[in-house]
Amino acid sequence: MARDLASSLQTKLAARAVFAADLIELHLATPLYFTSTNIDIDYDSATAPDSGTNTYLAQGQFLNFGNITESSDIRVGQLDMTFTAVDTTTVALLINNEYMNKRVVIYRAVLASDYSFTSDDVFTVFDGTIMGYSIQETTETATVTITVASQFADFERTNGRKTNPASQQVHFPSDKGMDFSAQIVKDLKWGRS
């Protein structure tokens, strides 16, 4: 399906050989920009938290992301992005909980043989938020897998206050009224028969 792709891009995608690069934006407290190519790529995206042109780094930290599939069914699109955990920068961000519900945008740029491209040669592949992560370690290496879901991940969530200390102390910082709510809630019959 062509969608809103420029006709020049549609022509490039129909060619026998397509040279493409993935551009990944992680909208963390300190935004991270990665590319799947072997050289750094400069691009000014409309979604980047930093205004202006950003450099998407060609490095060994980003490894790959899972398959992205489309469906006419209403469902939550989800994929896993894999990073090396040898560089402790990403692991530190995850452990410090600076990742939950942060935006992730994946673009695909169709490049010429000299790595040049125009803004018409770039399209959005995925736009979602970080839902969780896992770390796998072996004796030789370690990897971090970040689970990213589409905007419909929280579609059925009911917004509002919760009966826990953190939710209570947002509005009343010194109140300790919900400190034992997890133990009491087992006995409440509200909304249950």
Instruction: Give 17's pLDDT tier (boundaries 50, 70, 90).
Output: confident
Q: Is there a contact between 77 and 128 (Cβ–Cβ < 8 Å)?
A: yes
What pLDDT is attached to residue 87? 66
Residue with tokens 């489309």: 70
More confident residue, 30 or 95: 30
Give domain limits for the chain: 7-150, 160-193
pLDDT in tens, 66-101: 665 555 555 557 788 887 766 666 666 666 656 778
Look at the domain 7-150 and name its fold.
Phage tail proteins - horseshoe like beta roll fold (2.30.300)
- Structure-block tokens of residue 160: 């509002």
Mean pLDDT of the residues in the chain: 76
Where on the phi/psi map is residue 115: left (φ > 0), alpha (ψ -120 to 50), or beta? left
Residue with tokens 């059925």: 156
The dihedral of CA 50, 115, 109, 84: what is its sign?
Answer: negative
Instruction: Give 20's pLDDT tier (boundaries 50, 70, 90).
Output: confident
What pLDDT is attached to residue 54? 93
Q: Which of 86, 81, 80 is nearest to 140 (CA)?
A: 86
Residue with tokens 């891009």: 9
Residue 111 has pLDDT above 80, yes or no: yes
pLDDT in tens, 117-176: 888 889 888 888 888 888 888 887 778 888 888 765 554 555 666 667 777 777 778 887
Rounded to an integer, what distance in angstroms lies between the CA atom of residue 56 and that of residue 78? 23
More confident residue, 103 or 140: 103
pLDDT in tens, 35-69: 888 899 999 998 988 888 999 988 766 666 666 55
What pLDDT is attached to residue 18? 76
